[in-house]
Amino acid sequence: MSVSAQASAGIAGGGGAAAAATAEPARRRARRLSLLLLAATGVFILLTFDQHGLSNDEEVQHVYGRLLVDFYASGLSDLHAFQYKNLYLYGGLFDLIAALIERSGVVDAAGPDVWNMRHLLSAAFGLAGLAGTWLLARRLAGEWAALAALVVLLVTGAWSGAMFTHTKDIPFATAMVWSLYCIVRVAASLPRPSRGDVVGLGIALGCAFGLRIGAVFAVFYLGVTLLAAAVLREGEGPAARAAAFGRSVVALLPAALIAFALMALFWPWAMMSPGNLWKAMTTFSHFSFLLHTILAGKVMANGDAPGYYLLAYLLVRLPEIFLLGLALAALGGLRALPSLAGPAARRAALPWLPVVLAALFPIGYTLAASPPLYNGIRHFTFLLPPLAVLAGAGLFAAWRRAARWPRGRMAALAGCMLLAAGSVIGLARLHPYEYVAYNGFVGGLRGTAERWEQDYWADSLRDAAEQLNAFVAREGHPERRYTVAVCAESLQAAVWLDPRLTVTKDWRIADFFLSPTHMDCHTALKGEIIGKVEREGVTLAVVRDRRMLAGEERRPR
């Protein structure tokens, strides 16, 4: 019996065949609702993917993809990709795909189309991540828990908003959740996993390594799961358990070969020297440069971020319904601990092991190691799917336990629906900047001013640039040319600006100034504010007219 079937049987409880027959239509309804949500998300992506600005890293990432295409087109002789900034430390799966689409001529490389294409591609990865989260929760805890997991992840702006512009973080998180799903499937049939599961695991791990060295987390989860599966073999001595572990490792060797092949394809630098993987791993564990972040009102260098930085941001970024589900999952887990004394119960719980590790181990790592961190939870977006699985399972388990109080649990269900609806309304008000959403414990986006990270990707610069275009058009001097200073990467504004407006690196001479308000960037230059990008009463970006300034007033602060 599969894990999902076991979960479904458990949900049916002791009512026998009649209860199971009653439960089956309910499970079908949950499945239909989940598929409907996924389909609706796909429609939302198609309707809105072209409404987003560029992220800070997007230009260099796309250049890296182009250079990887050149590497392969040259017969592996053009090595510029591995000398370009520090991008060689990353896998290029996403950027290579995007560059190939651009090179095919499907989109215009000179205009905004190429960036809209990247956002559509990234959102497609995000949709695949939602599907992987649903399948993982469905296998472990049944249809209704899977629906709950899907809902809590969808109402999380750090996923549903970030999936358009976080073109490294979302694809990596998607590859990681599919790796988890394959690990769970493999765990159920060790030491003789099916060929399909082995191939799937190899593809998922290869794609994860083809994006970031952080895929070693998934290898760790797999290793612990294999070891636990061997130890939990009942009635066998140490030698037999060691032999079972060895058989499991041998059975998964094809997955390792597939993963290495894909990693070599998407991240060729990693295979050019035996020490490159280690170099990438150690570089990122101590990766620090001059960049500031903010935590609960305290501005600090990213290298000085305390170990609780990630945990603190999770507590303020995750929606209330998400946090409730995690709290219920924690309570349920503590309640289940005594039952794990028996070997049969431990074996039944084995498929949950990699998911619990995936949700908790990275948090424990940051608490212990205090690595350089910034941009809130961005670098740990891959935590969101396993956390959503636990939250969905926690919500549904609480619903089952409350069966003896029908009125109370209907009231609780209504409360959960209100929490989810409140999150959806909040995201709608932020559109298209859903990724800056915060929960009510800090007062939503309004409570983030000078306390938490806001529009760190400067997504709002697109709207600011379009406001400046409209302002210049209203003045009615089509022959005039102006210069614009941008407190971000030049391309983030240049893509959207009218041809009469040229981005300049010399801020003193700039006629106009575009800036996000993140980390007070908008105060770097003086000028009359002629435009604002606002959400929930919070200014995300400003447009300044500097043409009337002279002398020292033009000097950047």
Compute and round to an integer the Cα radius of gyration of the chain.
Answer: 25
Question: Span 84-106, mean pLDDT?
Answer: 94
Q: Which has the closest alpha carbon to 331: 391, 375, 264?
A: 391
> How high is the mean pLDDT of the chain?
92
Look up residue 17 and give its two tokens. 């065949």
pLDDT at position 287: 59
Beta-sheet pairing, 292-295 with 298-301: antiparallel
Strand partners of residue 32: none
pLDDT at position 5: 41
Cis ω on the peptide bond leading into residue 191 (within 30° of 0)?
yes
DSSP-derived 3-state class of residue 542: strand
- Report the 10 Å Cβ neighbour count for 181: 28
Dihedrals φ, ψ of 535, to 5°? -145, 135
| Lowest-pLDDT choice from 318-322, 449-453, 459-463 | 449-453
Look up residue 545 and give its two tokens. 């007219």
pLDDT at position 286: 61
Say whether pTM exceeds 0.85.
yes
DSSP-derived 3-state class of residue 539: strand
Beta-sheet pairing, 501-503 with 528-535: unpaired
| Lowest-pLDDT choice from 389-393, 540-544, 552-556 | 552-556
Degrees (nearest 5) of the Cα angle 321, 324, 329?
125
Tens-place pLDDT, residues 467-518: 999 999 999 888 899 999 999 999 999 999 999 999 999 999 999 999 999 9
> Distances in Å between the alpha carbon of 545 and those of 96, 282, 494, 528, 539?
39, 46, 17, 5, 17
Question: Span 128-134, mean pLDDT?
Answer: 98
Q: How many Å from the N-terminal Cα to the C-terminal Cα in the chain?
A: 67
Question: Span 412-440, mean pLDDT?
Answer: 95
